[in-house]
Amino acid sequence: MPEDYEVGLDLEVFSVGRASAYIRSRHENPAGYAGLVQTVKADDYRGTRLQVTAMVKARDVVGWAGVWMRVDDAHDHTLAFDNMQNPERRIAGSVGWRRYSIALDIPENAAYISFGAVMERTGQIWLDDVRVNVVDDSVPVTDITSRFPRHPVNLDFENGTY
C-alpha cells in the first residue's frame, strides 16, 4: 500500500555525487512492498546481455530488499526477471554501501525493460550510482525463471516443501 512506505530523495546519505533515492517503511506492519522503477524501450538492447548494478545501503530491513530487472514483450508477458529475493542474494538487516548486480539476456521479442530497487516489510534502503551496461557472456545471467525446472518435481512431497 502506498501509505505504508515512503520513497524519496536523500541529500544527506549517498554513495557518490550529491543524492540517493530511498525506500522506507512508515510503520511496523506495512502491507506488500515498495519499489523504485524506471522503464526503457528494449530496442537498443535486443540480443544482448544487460547488467544492472547499483550501490545499496540498508538499515534494519526485516523481510528483504534487492535490485531488480524485468524484461517484457509488447503484450506485457514477462520474458526474463530477477529481483534478488532468494535467500542467498537478498539484502536484509543493516548493510553499509555495497554494489549489487543482476544480469538478464534481452530476447529479440523484448519491448520494455524495467529496473530499480524493491523492499518488502520494514526498514530502509538507499539506492545510488545505478549503472545499466551491455556485458558479454562472461557475466552470468541471474534470471530466476531460468532456474525453474523443465518438468514438475516432488509432486508427492517426499522431499518436503520449498
Number of domain units in the chain: 1
Q: How confident is the model at residue 160 (pLDDT cuts 50, 70, 90)?
A: confident
Residue 157 domain-assigned (yes or no): no
What's the CATH code of the domain at 84? 2.60.120.260
Q: How many contiguous H segments (helices) and E segments (strands) does the chain have?
A: 0, 7
Quote the domain boundaries for residue 84: 2-143
Residue 104 domain-assigned (yes or no): yes
pLDDT tens-digit readout, 53-77: 999 999 999 999 999 999 999 999 9
Residue 48 domain-assigned (yes or no): yes
Residue 155 domain-assigned (yes or no): no
Residue 161 domain-assigned (yes or no): no
Of 114, 60, 115, nearest in space to 91 by CA: 60
Q: How confident is the model at residue 155 (pLDDT cuts 50, 70, 90)?
A: confident
Residue 159 domain-assigned (yes or no): no
Residue with cell 545499466: 132
Residues 6+ apart with CB under 8 A from 36: 7, 21, 23, 116, 117, 118, 127
The structure's pTM equals 0.89
